[in-house]
Amino acid sequence: MIGKMKYRVTIEEAVLTPDGAGGFTETWQAIATAPTVYASIVPASAGAMMKFGGVETEVTHDIVLRYRTDVTAGMRLVDENGVIYLVTASVPQDGAHFFLAISASARPAG
């Protein structure tokens, strides 16, 4: 598995800042502990749906990285090419907690 972990990704979490009008502005920042790690990224499925009068595609990926407890749904991973992977689930891949399996949907860079 380690040999397949060839992509460098940065783990980010959403930060909500009050906007002064009763709402919040969402920004993303790298997590505090070891934010950049190596991962295996494999496309899992693709689909299309109608949204606001247009077609929107979604590609889901299976991502594996070394086991850690601080990656949860709602976070995101950003690779060195700027592709954003929105984490939808994360679970230990094995009983020994060597690897973390992540399901994520991708959004192209730009």
C-alpha to C-alpha distance for 55 and 74, rounded to whole angstroms: 24
How confident is the model at residue 58, as a pLDDT?
77
How confident is the model at residue 3, as a pLDDT?
75
pLDDT in tens, 41-62: 999 987 766 667 777 677 899 9
How confident is the model at residue 10, as a pLDDT?
97
Chain position carrying tokens 């590609």: 59
Q: How many domains does the chain have?
A: 1
* Angle subtended at Cα 59 by Cα 90 and Cα 103, rounded to the nearest 5 degrees: 5
How confident is the model at residue 9, as a pLDDT?
97
How confident is the model at residue 107, as a pLDDT?
78
The amino acid sitting at 15 is V
Q: Is 43 left (phi over 0), alpha (psi -120 to 50) or beta?
A: beta
Domain of 62, in residue numbers: 2-107
How confident is the model at residue 2, as a pLDDT?
66
The amino acid sitting at 96 is A
CATH assignment of the domain containing 54: 2.40.10.270
Q: Sorting pLDDT into bands at 50, 70 and 90, what band is 95?
A: confident
pLDDT in tens, 61-77: 999 999 999 999 999 99
How confident is the model at residue 57, as a pLDDT?
73
